[in-house]
Structure 1
Amino acid sequence: MGIFDTIKEKLSQEFIDIIEWLDYTDDTICYRFERYQNEIKNNAKLIVREGQMAVFINEGQLADVFNPGTYTLNTQNLPILSTLKGWKYGFNSPFKAEVYFVNTHLFTDEKWGTKNPIILNDDRFGLVEIRAFGTYAFKINDAGKFIIDIVGTDNNFTNFEINEHLKSLIATRFTDTVGEAKLPIELYAANTTELSETCKEVMQPDFTSVGISLEKFFIENVSMPEDLKKEIFEYSRIDKLDLDKLTKFKTAKAIEAAANNEGGTAGAGMGMGMGYVLAQQMGTAMQQPANYNNTASPKVTPPPIPAAVQYYYALNGAQAGPVSFEQLQALFAGRTVNKDTLVWKQGMSNWSPIKEVEELKVFLGGNTPPPLPPQ
């Protein structure tokens, strides 16, 4: 060996490579450190910063993984690579290996959403469609597995390249989860926190299988068609209402409307109905003995007040009521019921339309009140 060769060899051992990666982007997940023919000198310095991991790949095989820190690359710090290379007595010549730096910080505010509506079978509303969207956050927790299963030979892998895969995975698992939850349709929007936590637990194994940890998962909104939303709101109101109070309220409103429209059919019907009730009360009063106010006969007491007649009526194929005569008349005035609506009261053998029940014919207008009871 000549003197120049000796000097060249000594100089090559003096100059030490520095392998490091300074990330100036917000979206790079993995970066391959470039070297001519992938050659790395003996005793080169490897600098792995916080939020990074360095992965050595030799001839397509995972060799070594380095956590944050500064390393001198030799047979002591490259045990797996040394085994793969079969160096028994150390090495002094450059060696070839691909070095990948993996960004392990948290990638936040990643968007997801259902591309197509999810069809659910609700017990009360039948088949319904919902959509959902939100955000998630992830980080790499197994750099070696991630490079082998996802990155491959990509020299600059960004989160954009994996987002489509992750969003498809999330949409699929979300559909499965809400389908198995079998919640009432109106509760999905009200329980997004609990549903988010459940979805995160279901999706975590799929992320972990490729070296990724799903750190956060949020459902920001669950939407449905407007007509379904209105139907749910209406159902919710009816479910919470006291029907008896509602009937009384509507009766009062109908009487008020009739009083403001005395010349109309509804006003006439209302007046006739009130006349019929007044006639019943007068007939009852007239049946009492003439001397009912006579203080000389203290033992004479008025008869018991007759029980108010209660009517049941058919509404949308279901039985409703009971309601009083006045309440039924108010429902007729408000067009909740009509002349063909079936009604029944105690003593009737079958359901009959309003137009065929004698005391209810006053609702129709044009009829006269029934005659007073005999004295």
Structure 2
Amino acid sequence: MSIFDFFKSQLIEVIEWTDQSTNKMVYRFPVQGNEIKMGASLIVRESQAAVFVNEGEIADVFGPGHHVLYTQNMPVLTKLKSWKTGFNSPFKAEVYFVNTKQFIDQKWGTSNPIMMRDPDFGMIRLRGYGVYSYRVADPAVFMKELFGTNSSFDTSNIDSHLKKMIMSGLTDLFAESQVAALDLAMFYDELSSQGLEKMRDRFAQFGFEITSLYIENLSLPKEVEQAMDKRTTMGVLGDMNQYTQWQAAEALRDAAKNEGGGMAGAGVGLGAGAAIGNAMANAFTTSQQTTASQAEEKMACPHCQANIRTSAKFCPECGQSVQQKKVPCIHCKAEITEGSKFCGECGTKQITEKKCTACSAVNNPTAKFCGECGAGLDV
């Protein structure tokens, strides 16, 4: 190689970066010691930004497009180098390509349970996980705050810190929401949106923009979930007496299918049969007692004949009072039901009113003289 070819190889004429990875955020170009030729082409693709750094100071930032490097379109770097217009010698500067695309499907999750106060279960421990996405919105801030002097930078370098920021914000959000644990599934979208807004300022400190945040799952401890499953099962089963009868019948069927031989097997079978029989007898007895008890607690409404509880004060069908009023007998003063025609104790006919034969005035059934004319009243 001639001296001319050597110097020519040190002059970079095309500056570009084609990224083959999915998580690289920054790439430094060119190799240290090379010089950029004045008039070189800078190709910045969509979702990229080119940052020129001179002696540790950010000089220029170029967006997507084709740029020809002259002093006219590099005013900051030209001022730093003290170049004059038309100076065509090569110059040295570090060029960093910053990937501004969205980095999606970034995972977040609780490393330790979140302690919460729940109205149904009291103190609970909540776990959760989900995904988020972000991108570099301000390359200059990102270079100053995070990148430093590295030759490259990818999402793994900042992933742990971003997860901790998200969990800190979401923990505070969940506690402030005061949503019951059983209702959390209804508020995944709302909590995700609130968490996204809560994270914007925190990500902006590093030149990032968080573009999405989703809650995939919020779960309770295993012990609480098992207790909830048992409670749900009891609600599905309904009448426990009927369930006991069904279990006894199933056990009897399984025992009948057992073909175990020998006297020991027969003894076990007899014992199991006796136990099952007792269980079934108890279940049927309990069911009959319950049915009889329920039947005794019912009565017919005296107005519409609807089947109602004996303790009811009003009929749920017709709405009238079912508590019969007691009144004294007009002769022996024994308590009888209001409206009765005869006394159950002395047999006296219960007259509801007395009509005066002289003036036709209506009097109380116990009156002996007419209140209008004073004539005597016959029973």
- How far apart, in 1, do the equivalents of 2:192 and 2:33 lie? 48
SS at the partner of 2:225?
A: helix
Moved over 4 A (4+): 230-238, 249-257, 260-266, 268-278
- How far apart, in 2, do the equivalents of 1:40 and 1:276 lie? 98
Residues 33-88 of structure 1: per-residue CA shift (max 9 Å, x gap): 02343532211211111221100111111111001111111211111112223335
- How far apart, in 1, do the equivalents of 2:294 and 2:206 lie? 82
User: Residue in 2 aligned with 1:154?
Assistant: 150
- Matched to 1:59, the amino acid is E
Check if 1:184 corresponds to 2:180: yes
Question: How many equivalent pairs are there?
Answer: 272
- How far apart, in 1, do the equivalents of 2:286 and 2:31 lie? 99
Query: Relative to structure 1, is the Cα distance of residues 230 and 43 closer, same or farther in structure 2, using a 3 angstrom cutoff?
Result: same
- How far apart, in 2, do the equivalents of 1:71 and 1:272 lie? 91
Alignment match of 2:47 (pick from 25, 46, 51) = 51
**Offset of 1:177 from its aligned partner?**
1.1
Larger RCO: 1 or 2 (CA < 8 Å, sep 6+): 1
Check if 1:267 corresponds to 2:263: no
Alignment match of 1:23 (pick from 19, 24, 39) = 19
Highest CA radius of gyration, 1 or 2? Answer: 2
What is the TM-score of this pair, normalised by structure 2? 0.61
Deviates more, 1:19-28 or 1:83-92: 83-92
Residues 202-223 of structure 1: per-residue CA shift (max 9 Å, x gap): 1111112211111121111111
- How far apart, in 1, do the equivalents of 2:289 and 2:241 lie? 14
SS at the partner of 2:33?
A: helix
SS at the partner of 1:21?
A: coil
**Offset of 1:264 from its aligned partner?**
4.5
SS at the partner of 1:17?
A: strand
Seq. identity, %: 37
SS at the partner of 2:107?
A: strand
What is the TM-score of this pair, normalised by structure 1? 0.61
8 Å contact kept, 2:245–2:283: no
- Matched to 2:209, the amino acid is S
User: Residue in 2 aligned with 1:355?
Assistant: none
- How far apart, in 2, do the equivalents of 1:106 and 1:21 lie? 17
**Offset of 1:234 from its aligned partner?**
6.8
- Matched to 2:204, the amino acid is T
SS at the partner of 2:46?
A: coil
Give 1:211-360 correspondences, 5 Å limit: 211-232=207-228, 264=282, 267=285, 274=292, 308-309=310-311
Q: CA RMSD in A?
A: 4.2
**Offset of 1:147 from its aligned partner?**
1.4
- Matched to 1:226, the amino acid is K
- How far apart, in 2, do the equivalents of 1:79 and 1:55 lie? 14
Give 1:81-230 correspondences, 5 Å limit: 81-89=77-85, 91-230=87-226
- Matched to 1:308, the amino acid is T
8 Å contact kept, 1:118–1:175: yes
8 Å contact kept, 1:29–1:157: yes
Query: Relative to structure 1, is the Cα distance of residues 41 and 180 closer, same or farther in structure 2, using a 3 angstrom cutoff?
Result: same
- Matched to 1:26, the amino acid is T
SS at the partner of 1:144?
A: helix
SS at the partner of 1:188?
A: helix
Structure 2, unpaired ranges of 5+: 249-277, 300-306, 313-344, 346-379
8 Å contact kept, 1:262–1:268: no
Give 1:9-20 correspondences, 5 Å limit: 17-20=13-16
- How far apart, in 2, do the equivalents of 1:272 and 1:132 lie? 47
- How far apart, in 2, do the equivalents of 1:51 and 1:273 lie? 76
Query: Relative to structure 1, is the Cα distance of residues 214 and 269 closer, same or farther in structure 2, using a 3 angstrom cutoff?
Result: closer
- How far apart, in 1, do the equivalents of 2:16 and 2:129 lie? 38
**Offset of 1:237 from its aligned partner?**
9.4
**Offset of 1:253 from its aligned partner?**
8.1
- How far apart, in 1, do the equivalents of 2:154 and 2:22 lie? 9
**Offset of 1:199 from its aligned partner?**
0.7
Check if 1:60 corresponds to 2:56: yes
